[in-house]
Amino acid sequence: AAGEQRGQLQREAAEYYQRLRVPERLETALNTLFLERPRDLYGELANYLCEFSKAPIICRIVGRRVFDGVFQPTLEVEIYCTVRNYEKRICSIVIASHSQIPENALPETIEADEKERNDSVCAAVEWVNEPLKKMLRGLKPIDQCQADKILGEYFADRLEEEQRIQKQKEEEEAAAKAALAPSPPPTPRPRRRPGLKMMSVELLPPAEPAESVLCGSLAIGGTSLAIAKAGATIRRVPLYLHIAQLKHHQKSLQEIMLPLPMVTVLNCEKKLPTKLKLVKEVIFIPPVELSLKQGIERILDIQKEMIKLLESAGKQPGSQADSKRGRTQNSGKKAAPNLTRISRLGSLSIGYDNLEQLLLLMETAFDNIGLELGKDMYLAINCAAHELVDYEKGKYEIVTGTFKSPDEMVPMYVEMIDNYPFIIALIDPLRKEDREQWKNIYCALGSKCYLFAEDAATHISKLTIDQNINIAMCSGVVLKYINQTKVSDLIELTGILEGQSYITILGSPDGESLDESLVDLAVGLGARFLKLGGLSRGERVAKYNRLLAIEEELAANGTLR
């Protein structure tokens, strides 16, 4: 009986292994390896058999509250997969946080924004650790489209539920007010005195309300990017190549073009006491004939010379630095701007009283090291026009006490570019609501410099309407990977932008972390520019290092265009 049982097991085992082609594959492997005689026989045998193992599937997703580069809370997402019957940690990402609050916001507004951000991160951790973990369990990380479909459907359900709750709440509040409040008396019309003229202020169109962010939406973007990174890890390819192949439907790419870096060298914060308000960021763009490494090294040389000039100006008699040391002498020279600190963007934080004063520093630094603006380096200016508006006056405040209407801004920019042709890009020169003026400035300057929309662009989810770009007339858009943005969204959107001749810039949000995935996204999506901030602060430098590493890798394997 025992012999019959053993015989039955042997027959079942033989059928089982034959059905899975184990003897055939082992024989092929052993014959091949005998001829090759590798130093690590079992290692090579394991590599061969791995090709026939089942594809890894997601078994666990972990959400965690962490801090970004400015110690604001944000979300980390970890992916665990079942790989050859064992659970294995594949990767993690930290999604950058982004605030829509302007620099000059009131303290109570900033406090409310911080509370909202903290609540959103806590909600995102719950989303990842509960519903999303269950919904995505068993999914292959290489199936990005299916993962993003699940994430998108879950977000749509949560948004619909939130809107229903909000609508019910508003109806209840309206009913309670109607029951308590008496009808107001009619408002008398104001009577104008004879002989007096009524003063009129041309009102700007009201600002569009800020895009409402669903509490917890960080979980969608964070999980989507984490799955993309897991897919790249499992395929044993860099994330940028995995993204590029997703965009081009798994086609093999012969060449990859790297984005040009837009490096912020000066951050002229609007809250500084100096007068110039028009400029928020001064950005360097290296010429295309330089490699990325050469371009960044050149920017470093220029920045060092600028710091020397600022430090020497600060030591002059009558400067702000001497005033702080108690000196009262004044030589009659104009006080130099005070070098205060490194901003959260990783650049020098400094203010000026006018544009000419700022550009004089640039030109002097270039002359001192034998370079020429407009040939050896180009400038871009981020105007952040939405932070300049005085709605009571209906105008933009470009310098303290100097106001211009939207129509007056157009000739001002034309004159600026005519006087300083080395400025090749303006970011947010106007609010997104001033579409007619965007059209006018594009017609006047579109052939001379780039006009990019960053905060002037609508949210990614509303940028496309029926495959058309919903934005004012401009050269291109600065995209940011935040909140519920998914990898598939960016792939689709960049394809539409390219098809309609818009330039894609991938931008770094305000609250960055050491996560380098943004650089791989930009390279894989084929972005023309990459706006990462300055060359200081670890979270910024890590991304520049990643960009340089990709350049080196592509050059080594002959696929750098």
Same domain, residue pair 277 and 410? yes
Q: Which of 338, 419, 483, 557 is catalytic?
A: 483
Q: Are 57 and 81 in contact (CB under 8 A)?
A: yes
pLDDT number for residue 254:
86
Which pTM value belongs to this model? 0.87
CATH code, 415 = 3.20.20.120
For residue 438, CA distances in Å to 94, 403, 431, 433, 442 come to 36, 18, 9, 9, 6
Contact between residue 98 and residue 482 where contact means Cβ atoms under 8 Å apart: yes
Rg (CA), the chain: 29
Same domain, 377 and 419: yes
- Classify residue 170: in a domain, yes or no: no
Identify whether residues 400 and 470 lie together within a single domain: yes
Q: Is 426 within 8 Å of 454 (Cβ atoms)?
A: no
Distances (CA, A) of 19 to 27, 49, 54, 55, 86: 15, 16, 16, 19, 24
CA–CA gap between residue 536 and residue 514 (Å, rounded)? 13
**Domain coverage including residue 84:** 57-165+213-236
E strands within 229-279?
Answer: 260-267
pLDDT value for 159: 92
Structure-token pair, residue 57: 């599937």
* Residue 161 included in any domain: yes
Instruction: Please indicate, yes or no, whether residues 553 and 424 belong to a single structural domain of this protein.
Output: yes
Query: What local confidence, expressed as pLDDT, does residue 445 receive?
Result: 95
Q: Can you state the percent helix, strand and coil of the chain, rounding each to 5?
A: 45, 15, 40
Structure confidence at residue 459 (pLDDT) = 67
Is 39 inside any structural domain? yes
Name residues of the chain where pLDDT drops below 70: 98-104, 181-203, 270, 314-340, 458-462, 464-469
Residue 483 is a catalytic residue = yes
Total domains in the fold of the chain:
3
The answer to whether residue 273 is domain-embedded is: yes
The C-alpha atoms of residue 452 and residue 384 are separated, in whole angstroms, by 11
